[in-house]
Amino acid sequence: MRGRSGISSSKRTLLMDIHENNTDYEFKTYGMYSLRYLNRNYTGDVILGYKDSSGVTQGFTPAEIVDGTLTTFANGDHVRVKTWYDQSGNGNDASQTSRYNMPPIVISGSLMTLGGLPAVDFDGTNDFIPLNSALPNIRIGHCSSFCVGESDDATASSLAMMLSLGWSNSNARWFVPSLYNSNFNFGYASYWNIDTSTADTDSHLFTGIAGSTQGNFQPFIDGVSTGSFTRQVRNSAGVYGIGGGKTVSSYPLDGRVSEVLVFDGDCSPTRTDIEKNINDYFDIY
């Protein structure tokens, strides 16, 4: 049975206790965005919801998302994610200020899900949660990201971003993943589609790691490496985030995202443990 609490007892230090001043690891947390709790020291709201009909906002905890509190607030309406709160302890909350670009978590009173668990839905047109203000100056040569999501459009005839942490500015791309021409792609540094795997509409865990310990940049799908590429040391620039990149209407995702973790450093020594914790909860593979 899926571990709905999201935390296996043997992995409590991997997601619940990582924070900016943690000395047990050689990396820090940029930001942790999820619809479950990841940190025992964070017990607040995980999202700030925006109700379409009234513009009223209200914060919700993971329990309130699934126990009916959120859908009662919706009362048959759409509720969009205005702010996705950072659970790392750094306060790097990700916000979308434009109502028309906020992705919904409730549509016409129904909670959006991914694999039976809550998810944020991106419409493939202009829904986007930017991260460049919340997480500026990503070091793409010393970075790790973990993203749980799916695409509703496996053909993806136009480039679509599920997670971008850097753009073409200064050749500091980090696309893990993007979708194009029926493939999952990974963009890094000066390349926008350096590796491809056949796309589908299933839930996946997409991992990207670059660092001196690993010695290169590697993308992973469900824990399996899809290639190895020369590591570049650059700082990110431009507009990037969850569900798109560059602008709110450029390269939009038609799909859903449940969790995004971003670390300032090379997580390769603990990658399999972090991925296990995520998979124990989401039951992806």
| pLDDT tens-digit map of 31-74 | 999 999 988 788 999 999 999 999 999 999 999 999 999 999 99
Q: For the chain, first and last CA: distance in Å?
A: 13
Q: Identify whether the C-beta of residue 247 lies closer than 8 Å to the C-beta of residue 167.
A: no
For residue 137, is it left (φ>0), alpha (ψ between -120 and 50) or beta?
A: left
Task: Specify the pLDDT at position 158.
Answer: 84
| pLDDT tens-digit map of 143-182 | 999 999 999 999 887 889 999 999 988 899 999 999 999 9
Task: Specify the pLDDT at position 29.
Answer: 85
At 100, list the tokens: 């028309």
Question: What is the residue-level pLDDT of the chain in tens, covering all 285 positions?
Answer: 222 233 333 344 457 655 455 544 556 889 999 999 988 788 999 999 999 999 999 999 999 999 999 999 999 999 999 999 999 888 999 999 999 999 999 999 999 999 999 999 999 999 999 999 999 989 999 999 999 999 999 988 788 999 999 998 889 999 999 999 999 999 999 988 887 889 999 999 999 999 999 999 999 999 999 999 999 999 999 999 999 998 877 899 999 999 999 999 999 988 998 999 899 999 999
Would you mind telling me the total number of residues written for the chain in this entry? Answer: 285
Q: Strand 79-84 relative to strand 104-107: parallel, antiparallel, unpaired?
A: antiparallel
Just give the CATH number of 9-42+113-282. 2.60.120.200
Select from 196, 203, 219 the least CA-distant residue to 268.
219
- E strand or H helix that includes residue 173: strand 173-180
At 219, list the tokens: 């993308």
At 65, list the tokens: 């998302």
Cis peptide before 219 (omega within 30 of 0): no
